[in-house]
Structure 1
């Protein structure tokens, strides 16, 4: 049976920091033996069209 993940306030803060400000992308939490060992953040930038020098697309909020 899988071990329960050990999650404390420090990890919650780290996860929140990884997600904050992320418009497009992923946050992966790596777990080994029931313990969080790594947080990976991959940020993506989306642009309208393929013309160089164009400003990033803006979405209505």
Structure 2
């Protein structure tokens, strides 16, 4: 059976520091024998090209559907906690 994980204030502070200011990326917490031993932060920077910016400014036509009069497109980064 796994040992219960004890997270003290120091590790809580370190985890919060790793997450703060992160716009795109991941934070991984490595645990050995029920103890946090490492925090890994991978940060990604996204840069938009001129084509991507102009594509956002041009409204897209909704796909034809009998069920809806208007279609909205939502985009996510896929990074969820």
Moved over 2 A (4+): none
| Structure with more of its chain in helix, by fraction | 2
Number of positions where the alignment pairs a residue of Structure 1 with one of Structure 2: 51
Whole-angstrom distance in 1 between the partners of 2:33 and 2:50: 44
Between the aligned partners of 2:13 and 2:31, the Cα distance in structure 1 is 17
Structure 2 alignment gaps of length 5 or more: 52-81
Using CA pairs below 8 Å that are at least 6 residues apart, which structure has the higher relative contact order? 1
Using the alignment, how far apart are the partners of 2:40 and 2:34 within structure 1?
17
The alpha-carbon deviation at position 47 of structure 1 amounts to: 1.2
With the length of structure 2 as denominator, give the TM-score of the two structures: 0.59
Q: Secondary structure of the residue that 1:2 maps to in structure 2?
A: coil
Q: Which residue pairs with 2:36 in the alignment?
A: 36
Q: Which has the higher strand share?
A: 1
Using the size of structure 1 for normalisation, the TM-score is 0.77
Could you list the runs of 5+ residues in structure 1 that have no partner in the other structure? 52-61
